Structure 1
Amino acid sequence: MDESVIDKLKILAESAKYDVSCSSSGTTRSNQKGGIGNAAGWGICHSFAEDGRCISLLKIMLTNHCIYDCAYCINRRSNDLKRATFSVTELVNLTIEFYRRNYIEGLFLSSGVVRNPDYTMERLVRVAKDLRLVHRFNGYIHLKSIPGASRELVNEAGLYADRLSVNIEIPNEKSLQLLAPEKDFQSVFKPMSYIQQGVLESAEERKKYRYAPRFAPAGQSTQMIVGATAETDKDILQLSSALYQRPSMKRVYYSGYIPVNTYDNRLPVLKQAPLVRENRLYQADWLLRFYQFKVDEIVNDAYPDLDLEVDPKLSWALRNPQAFPVDINRADYEMLLRVPGIGVKSAKLILVSRRYGRLGASQLKKMGIVMKKAQYFITCNELPVRTINELSPLSVRSLLSRKPGRKADDRQQVIQFEE
C-alpha cells in the first residue's frame, strides 16, 4: 500500500473517532454471484453480533478539511492540525483492500465540508456508487449525509448506502448558533426529511414491484453531543422522542462532550467527558424505545436531569412507590416492564411460564431477572425481603446505589459556562 495513503489513513481515522452515530443495524444485504462482501444478518461497527462475534468496519473521513469553525469540533477550520484528503479512487481501493485482507466487513464514511455541502456530498456518493457498481461490493455501507446537501444527492446516496445519518450535534438551535454560527437546524432537518421520504417511497415501490431498488434499508441515525451546552436531559430526551416518531429514525446516539478545544471560552470547563450522564441517557433512550415509557415519566419539570446514582428505571420506581409491589403472577406485560431488574425478554418469559404454575423467586432467578433490584418491587409465592412500601424509597435507594465509603465518581462534573 502506498505510504501516502497510509499517512492519510492514520490522520483521517483519528479524525473520525469522535463520531459515534454508527452501530449494529440489523440490515441484510446478501452476496450475489460475481460480487464481494456480505452484510447479511449483521450491522457493521465495533459492536457485537448475537453470537458474541466482534463486528468491524472501516470508520474514516473523506477529508478533515472543513469550511466551518464549530467550537466543539476537533476538525474546526481554525485548529492547527494535520490535514488530509482522500481521492475517491484511493478510498474505494482502500476499502476493497481492507476487505480482501479480512480487516473489515463494511464502511462508515463521514467528511468535513469542503467548498460547499453539495461538493462534499457528491464525493461521498461517488465512493459508495463505485463500491457498489464497479467493485460489486455487497458489504455494509453507512454514509454521513452532509447538512445542507441537496435532495438529489441525498436520494442518490440512499440507493447505495445501507444507512444514512445526519448529526444534530447540539439539541437546541440557540445553542447551536452560539457554538456553530455557520449552521442552523434547517440544514440538518432538511436532509433528514429527504431520507425519511426516500425510505417511505421505496417501501411503497417495493409493494408494487418486488425488485424495486431499496433506499437506505437500515434507516437513518443521528448524534447529539452531551455536556457542551446547558440543555437538560429533559430537553435532550424530548428531542429524541420526537425524532423516534419518524418511521425512518432507528437510533439516536449520545456523545459525552470531549474537551478538545479548551481555549474556546464558549465551551464549558469539564474535567473530562460526562460519561456517566451519557450512559444514563442511553438507558433512558432504551426505556423510550422498548419499555413503553414516556419522556415526562423519566424526566419532567421537577426532575429535569437524570439521576447519576441510579438508572432511570429504578429512579422512576423510587419516585412512584404507589405502583408497587407488583404481583409477578398476575401483572400485565406493561407493568412487568416497569419493575427494576426485569427486562423485555424476562417479562415475556414470565407471561409464558406462569401459565404452567405460580412463579417463585428461584424460578425468577433462572429466567435472568436481577433479583437484587426486583425483590423490593414484587410479590410472588415467597418474598424473602420487605418491599419498597414496607421499607421506604430512601432506604431502597441506599441499598441499591453505591456503597458507603466508595469513592465518588467524578466523571460528571458541574459544568461552568462562560458568560
Structure 2
Amino acid sequence: MREILQMDRIMEKLTILSAAARYDVACTSSGVQRGGDGTHTGNAYASGICHAFTGDGRCISLLKILYTNDCIYDCKYCRNRCSNDVKRVSFTPEEICKLTMEFYRRNYIEGLFLSSGILHSPDYTMGLLYETLYLLRTKYHFNGYIHVKGIPGASADLLELTGYLADRMSVNLELPTADALRQIAPNKVRKNILSPMRQLQNGIRQSREFHGVSSMKSRMYLDEKTYYNQMAEMKESYARLQDYHDGIAAIREHKARQSAVQSWGEEIAGGENSSRVRNVQKKLPQITRGLMRPDRYFVPAGQSTQMVIGASDESDYQIISVSEALYQKFEMKRIFYSAFINVNHDSSLPDLPGPPLLREHRLYQADFLLRFYGFRADELLSEKNPNFNEQIDPKCNWAVHHLELFPVEINRADYYTLLRVPGIGTKSARRIMAARRYAKLDFSDLKKIGVVLKRAVYFITCKGKMMYHTRMEEGYITRNLMYQERPMQMLLSDGTVQTYEQLSLFDDRGKIVV
C-alpha cells in the first residue's frame, strides 16, 4: 500500500513538472497517451515524453521535466514565478533516477532533459541537479543522453562537476537584450548568464584539446572530411565574391557588432578580445579535475541557449545579431527561440493576439542560414530594414533585396553561390556540383535533384535561359513568392474567406435529408 501511494505521488509530480517544462524549448512534446491493447507491442505515456533529433537525423525520445517548479525569482513571463499561486512540487534525486531508469527499461525514452526552477539559491539548485546526474551515472549506470540546464549564478565548481556528467548543457539567455532582461526578469543578472557560458566554452575546448579533438564540430558530424571540404569550398568561393562585399562588408559588420553591443554589451560582441571578457575569464577556475579522467569529456554535445521572442520590442536584426555573436564568440551548438506566451496575463507585457509563431519560424530559418549557409546577420537585415517579411522565408527576403546578384547560371555557379539561391539547399547544391560534371543541367534535371523550383525559378538560368520570362523586379517577385506561401483560399457568397480543403466520403455534404 505504501509503495502504491508513493508511486501515485511521483506520478502527480511527473504530471505537474512535465507540464511546467514545456516552456523550455529544445524539443517538441509528443502529447500522446496510448495504452497497450493486448495485440500490439508497447505503449506511450504523454507526460514528460518529448522528441529531439540527433546529428545524424534520428528522432529520439527524451524525458523532459523540471526538478522543481518552486522558484525564488519573479520573472514576468514565467509560469513558475514566485508570485504565482500554483501548486509547488519537487522531485528528489532518487525519484528522477528511478523514473528515468524505468522509462528507459520500457523503451519509452532514450535520454533525459532536466531543467529546474531556482529552489532556495542557484548553488543549492545546481547541487541537486549535480547529485541527480551523479547517481544516474554511478549508482544506476545510465549511459544515455542527458541534457541539463546550467543555473546562472551557481558556483563554477558545480558547473564544472556537472559538465563531466552531462552530454549537453545550456544556460538560457532568456531575452534578446540586456534592457529587456532588467525590465522583465529583474532578478537575473547579465554577468551571471554570460560567465557560465564562457566557462562551458573554455571547458569544452580544453577537454577536446586534451583528448585530441580540437574541433567543436568534428564529434557532431558523421562525415568530418565532407564537412571540412564543404567549408573550405565555401570560403574559397567567398573570396571570389569580394567584388560585391568590398566597401560595404566592413560597415555592415561594424553595425551588426554595434547592435550586439547595444543588446548585451561588450561581453558578447567583443569575444576574447574584450578586456571585460578577459576580466571575467580570470575569475573562472581552471578546469583540471576532469582532465585527469581520460574516459570523460566535458559537455561533449556542446552548449546551447534559449531566447523568448516577442516579450520585448527588439527587432529581428537585434536578435540575429546577438545570435551571430553567440555562435562566433561562445561557440554555441544551437540557439533556441521561444515564441512569447503571456501565461500570466501581466499588464506590463505585450498583449498579443497569439504567440508569434510565424516570427519564431522565420528566426529559426535565419539561424539556419547563419550556421550552414555562410550568411551574416548584416546581410540578412540592417538598421534600415530591421525585420523580416514574415510572408516569405529569410533566404527569399534576402534574394529579392539583392537582385543585382541574379539570375545565377546553374551550370557555372560555384557551390557557395548556389547555396544562396532560394530553393537550393546543401544537399541539392552538392548534387548539382556532381551532376554537371557529366552533362549540362536543365530545369527538369533540377527538379529530379530536389531543387524547389517554385522559389528558385525567379533566380536561376539553365543553359543561359530562364524557365519563364520573369521580370527581375522586387515587387513582382515578392508578390509571387507571397502567393505561393499563403494557403489556397476562396471567397464565399457571404463575403467570408474559406480555405480549400479535401472533401471526405463521410462528410455531411451531399446527404439527402428526408
Aligned length: 386
Q: Is the 8 A contact 1:377 1:387 kept in 2?
A: no
Using structure 2 for the length normalisation, give the TM-score. 0.72
Identify the residue that residue 476 of structure 2 maps to in structure 1: 395
Q: 1:114 aligns with which of 111, 119, 129?
A: 119
Change (3 A) 1:173 1:50: closer
Q: 2:135 aligns with which of 121, 130, 133?
A: 130
Task: Extract unaligned runs of 5+ from structure 2.
Answer: 29-48, 214-290, 491-496, 500-514
1:311-331 CA distances to partner (integer Å, 9 max, x unpaired)? 000011111111100000111
Q: 1:225 aligns with which of 292, 303, 308?
A: 308
Is 1:317 the counterpart of 2:399? The answer is yes
Identify the residue that residue 37 of structure 1 maps to in structure 2: none
> Which AA in structure 2 matches 1:396?
I
Identify the residue that residue 186 of structure 1 maps to in structure 2: 191
Identify the residue that residue 83 of structure 2 maps to in structure 1: 78
> Which AA in structure 2 matches 1:101?
R
Identify the residue that residue 258 of structure 1 maps to in structure 2: 341
Change (3 A) 1:22 1:158: farther
Task: Extract unaligned runs of 5+ from structure 1.
Answer: 24-43, 410-419
Q: Is the 8 A contact 1:22 1:108 kept in 2?
A: no
Change (3 A) 1:72 1:319: same
Displacement of 1:386 in angstroms is: 2.0
Identify the residue that residue 65 of structure 1 maps to in structure 2: 70
Q: 2:14 aligns with which of 9, 17, 23?
A: 9
> Which AA in structure 2 matches 1:113?
I
* Partner SS for 1:207: coil
Displacement of 1:353 in angstroms is: 1.0
Q: 1:362 aligns with which of 444, 447, 450?
A: 444
Identify the residue that residue 271 of structure 1 maps to in structure 2: 353
Identify the residue that residue 35 of structure 1 maps to in structure 2: none
> Which AA in structure 1 matches 2:117?
G
Moved more, 48-57 or 334-343: 48-57
Distance (whole Å) between structure 2 residues aligned to residue 388 and residue 292 of structure 1: 28
Identify the residue that residue 322 of structure 2 maps to in structure 1: 239
Distance (whole Å) between structure 2 residues aligned to residue 131 and residue 151 of structure 1: 21
Change (3 A) 1:50 1:121: closer
* Partner SS for 2:169: strand
Displacement of 1:54 in angstroms is: 3.7
Q: Which of the two has higher C-alpha Rg?
A: 2
Q: 1:87 aligns with which of 67, 85, 92?
A: 92
Q: Is the 8 A contact 2:65 2:115 kept in 1?
A: yes
1:321-357 CA distances to partner (integer Å, 9 max, x unpaired)? 1110000011111111111100011111111111111
1:187-215 CA distances to partner (integer Å, 9 max, x unpaired)? 11111111111101101211299935200
Please give the residue correspondences for 1:310-389 in structure 2 after superposition, counting only pairs within 5 Å.
310-381=392-463, 383-389=466-472
> Which AA in structure 2 matches 1:221?
S
Distance (whole Å) between structure 2 residues aligned to residue 365 and residue 127 of structure 1: 51
> Which AA in structure 2 matches 1:214?
Y
* Partner SS for 2:400: helix
Residue identity (%): 51
> Which AA in structure 1 matches 2:300?
P
Q: Is the 8 A contact 2:198 2:330 kept in 1?
A: no
Identify the residue that residue 273 of structure 2 maps to in structure 1: none
* Partner SS for 1:126: helix
Q: Is the 8 A contact 1:325 1:388 kept in 2?
A: no
Distance (whole Å) between structure 2 residues aligned to residue 181 and residue 49 of structure 1: 35
Q: Is the 8 A contact 2:461 2:467 kept in 1?
A: no
Displacement of 1:265 in angstroms is: 1.9
Identify the residue that residue 415 of structure 1 maps to in structure 2: none
> Which AA in structure 2 matches 1:323?
L
Identify the residue that residue 99 of structure 1 maps to in structure 2: 104
Moved more, 249-258 or 178-187: 178-187
Using structure 1 for the length normalisation, give the TM-score. 0.88
Distance (whole Å) between structure 2 residues aligned to residue 192 and residue 55 of structure 1: 26
Change (3 A) 1:20 1:408: farther
Distance (whole Å) between structure 2 residues aligned to residue 408 and residue 315 of structure 1: 28
Change (3 A) 1:317 1:55: same
Displacement of 1:22 in angstroms is: 5.0
Displacement of 1:383 in angstroms is: 3.2
